[in-house]
């Protein structure tokens, strides 16, 4: 079963990419996820492995996942090695018209395909019954990511403005 | 999902039975059943089978029992562990289904997990699939073998005694003084993780354990059954024995996994078995009391 959600974020892809590739920040915005820990020596990038758990229904279920695609600032995809079968993807695309004097905007897409291979009818049924909850987690995760990244962008903008104001002040008093 | 126990004592030999007519008759009755009890073979656990059945368990525990399990992270990440649970729900125990799903979902089916069950459960026709889930007959040898292999082992010390307690004793942990699990943990120096559940005793109206009836019929000597439970359960109405199971009411099951207890760290090099037993029962009872306090209505939760 595949579920997806998308959102527009008023921030450049760099900030979003930093948030979604940093394993220590995942729990800050990922809804329903109770664990996202590094399993191995590599912390991020292609080949990095994470042990993740998501609360769905009566229990926390998850997998050991590995990053299988890492196209910087654009695509991050992972697939499961053990546990529940899953394939996930973050897709970041800068929006048209942003960045030319206007604040940069990015479209963020979060996809997750999950299931248990060979589970037959009950597997099919449980995937569909779990879908609204999983989709809800994805949507909430995107909103929380948006909030976090846009706050960060606001802080950066404010710092830039302060710096600009400082530069434009006359130095007469200091001299 | 069926009733499991950790009665870590060998069954009395049939030869100990009275030599009178009733004894001979009962022995003849017991022989075909006891001969069905399978030998423990840890290799019968089938991770692929468990994995393929996780959706079924998930549907059952999420939709029917609205299960909620907390604290799975308290189970040590690796090495052998003895999970000690209170047992509820008659011969169909939803808390075991929830724990099996939660364990497999949390640690993956690759981590070996065995559950000790009453001999009769494993010899019942149609319940052979439990062995593929990792259920083995409760005996000190099987438990030792599983712990030596580095597995996580689940025991229900209260066993058949606790699982058939009357519904109005739902909030009581009753191990009937069975301390075998403490000796087992000490012998193998493994941590004990208490697991406390509520809701199972609301899946039917359990009226009596029927221990006198069981004794009169010599079930205790023949099948290690100390009870012949009497309940009001769907679809039977009056249900004596619960041998065919029943349709459990959709009571909400809540399970709490408590922090691991490292016996020698907490009780010294030579812990007193009775002291450890009292401590564990008390900790579990306190947790169950809190779960009872949290529950607003029976069945609904």
User: In chain B, what percentage of residues exceed pLDDT 70?
Assistant: 87
Instruction: Enumerate the β-bridge partners of residue A52.
Output: A36, A63
**B1: which chain A residues are within 8 Å (Cβ-Cβ)?**
none
Q: ipTM of this model?
A: 0.88
Q: Which fold has domain B14-294?
A: Glycerol-3-phosphate (1)-acyltransferase (3.40.1130)
Inter-chain residue contact B73 with A35, CB threshold 8 Å: yes
- Substitution target from A59, A82, A130 for chain B, most B beta carbons within 10 A: A59
* Edge-to-edge strands, sheet with A106-115: A2-9, A106-115, A85-94, A75-83, A59-71, A49-56, A33-38
Q: Does A82 touch chain B (CB under 8 A)?
A: yes
What is each CA distance from B4 to B90, B160, B301, in whole angstroms? 10, 7, 24
Contact B87, B159 (CB under 8 A): yes
- pLDDT of B120 reads 76
- pLDDT of A170 reads 64
Question: Closest to B67 (Cβ–Cβ): which among A58, A63, A126?
Answer: A58
Q: Does A131 touch chain B (CB under 8 A)?
A: no
- Residue range A2-159, CATH number: 3.30.530.20
Q: Which two tokens stand for residue B220?
A: 């205790």
- pLDDT of B39 reads 59
Contact A76, A20 (CB under 8 A): yes
Domain edges within chain A:
2-159
- Whether residue B235 is preceded by a cis peptide bond, meaning omega within 30 degrees of 0, is yes
How many angstroms separate the CA of residue B141 from the nearest CA in chain A?
31
What residues have CB less than 8 Å from A107, skipping those under 6 apart? A6, A7, A8, A9, A92, A93, A94, A95
Distance between CA B100 and CA B50 in Å, rounded? 9
Distance between CA A17 and CA A13 in Å, rounded? 6
Q: Does B53 touch chain A (CB under 8 A)?
A: yes
Please name the residue that has the structure tokens 């403490």. B182
Q: Which two tokens stand for residue A147?
A: 């909030």
Domain edges within chain B:
14-294
pLDDT per residue of chain B (301 residues) written in tens, 0 to 9: 445 544 444 344 444 444 555 556 555 655 555 555 555 678 899 999 999 999 999 999 999 999 999 999 999 999 999 999 999 999 889 999 999 999 999 999 999 999 998 877 877 778 888 999 999 988 888 999 999 999 999 999 999 899 999 999 999 999 999 999 999 999 999 999 999 999 999 999 999 999 888 888 888 888 777 889 999 999 999 999 888 889 999 999 999 999 999 999 999 999 999 999 999 999 999 999 999 999 999 999 8
Collapsing DSSP states into helix, strand and coil, what is residue A155? helix
Rg of chain A over CA atoms, in angstroms? 20
**A63: which chain B residues are within 8 Å (Cβ-Cβ)?**
108
Inter-chain residue contact A61 with B106, CB threshold 8 Å: yes
Q: What are phi and psi of B77, to 5 degrees?
A: -65, -30
Mean of the pLDDT values across residues A74-86? Answer: 96
Q: Does A1 touch chain B (CB under 8 A)?
A: no
How many angstroms separate the CA of residue B226 from the nearest CA in chain A?
33
How many angstroms separate the CA of residue A122 from the nearest CA in chain B?
6
Q: Say if residue B237 is exposed, middle or buried (CB neighbours under 10 Å; 0-12, 13-18, 19+).
A: exposed
Q: Does B22 touch chain A (CB under 8 A)?
A: no
pLDDT confidence bin for A99, thresholds 50/70/90: low
Q: Which two tokens stand for residue A63?
A: 């997998």
- pLDDT of B242 reads 85
Distance between CA A174 and CA B102 in Å, rounded? 67
**B52: which chain A residues are within 8 Å (Cβ-Cβ)?**
116, 118-120, 123
Q: Which two tokens stand for residue B191?
A: 């941590």
């Amino acid at each position: 079963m595949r579920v997806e959600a998308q959102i527009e974020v008023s921030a450049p892809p760099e900030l979003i990419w930093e948030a979604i590739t940093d394993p220590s920040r995942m729990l800050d915005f990922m809804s329903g996820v109770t664990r996202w820990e590094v399993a191995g020596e590599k912390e991020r990038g292609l080949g990095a492995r994470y042990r993740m758990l998501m609360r769905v229904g009566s229990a926390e279920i998850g997998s050991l996942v590995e990053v299988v695609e890492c196209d910087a600032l654009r695509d991050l995809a992972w697939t499961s090695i053990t546990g529940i079968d899953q394939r996930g993807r973050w897709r970041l695309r800068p929006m048209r018209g942003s960045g030319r004097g206007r604040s940069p905007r990015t479209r963020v897409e979060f996809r997750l395909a999950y299931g248990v291979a060979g589970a037959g009818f009950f597997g099919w049924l449980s995937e569909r019954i779990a879908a609204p909850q999983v989709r809800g987690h994805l949507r909430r995760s995107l909103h929380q990511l948006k909030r976090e990244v846009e706050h960060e962008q606001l802080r950066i903008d404010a710092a830039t403005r302060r710096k600009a104001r400082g530069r434009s002040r006359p130095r007469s008093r200091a001299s | 999902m069926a009733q499991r126990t950790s009665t870590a004592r060998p069954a009395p030999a049939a030869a100990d039975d009275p030599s009178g007519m009733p004894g001979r008759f009962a022995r003849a009755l017991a022989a075909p059943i006891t001969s069905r009890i399978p030998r423990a073979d840890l290799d019968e656990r089938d991770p692929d089978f468990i994995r393929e059945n996780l959706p079924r368990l998930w549907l059952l525990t999420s939709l029917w029992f609205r299960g909620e399990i907390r604290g799975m992270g308290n189970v040590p990440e690796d090495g052998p562990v003895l999970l000690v649970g209170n047992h509820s729900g008659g011969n169909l125990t939803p808390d075991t289904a929830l724990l099996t799903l939660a364990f497999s979902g949390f640690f993956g089916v690759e981590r070996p997990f065995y559950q000790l069950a009453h001999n009769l459960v494993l010899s019942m026709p149609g319940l052979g699939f439990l062995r593929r889930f990792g259920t083995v007959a409760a005996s000190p040898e099987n438990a030792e073998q599983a712990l030596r292999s580095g597995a996580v082992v689940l025991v229900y010390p209260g066993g058949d005694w606790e699982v058939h307690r009357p519904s109005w004793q739902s909030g009581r942990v009753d191990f009937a003084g069975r301390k075998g699990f403490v000796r087992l943990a000490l012998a193998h120096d493994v941590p004990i993780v208490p697991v406390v559940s509520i809701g199972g005793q609301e899946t039917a109206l359990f009226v009596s354990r029927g221990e006198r009836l069981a004794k009169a019929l010599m079930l205790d000597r023949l099948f290690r059954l100390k009870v012949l439970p009497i309940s009001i359960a769907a679809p039977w109405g009056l249900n004596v024995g619960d041998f065919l199971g029943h349709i459990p009411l959709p009571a909400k099951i809540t399970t709490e996994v408590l922090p691991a207890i490292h016996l020698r760290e907490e009780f010294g090099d030579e812990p007193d078995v009775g002291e450890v037993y009292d401590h564990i029962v008390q900790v579990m009872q306190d947790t169950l009391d809190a779960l009872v306090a949290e529950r607003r209505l029976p069945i609904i939760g």
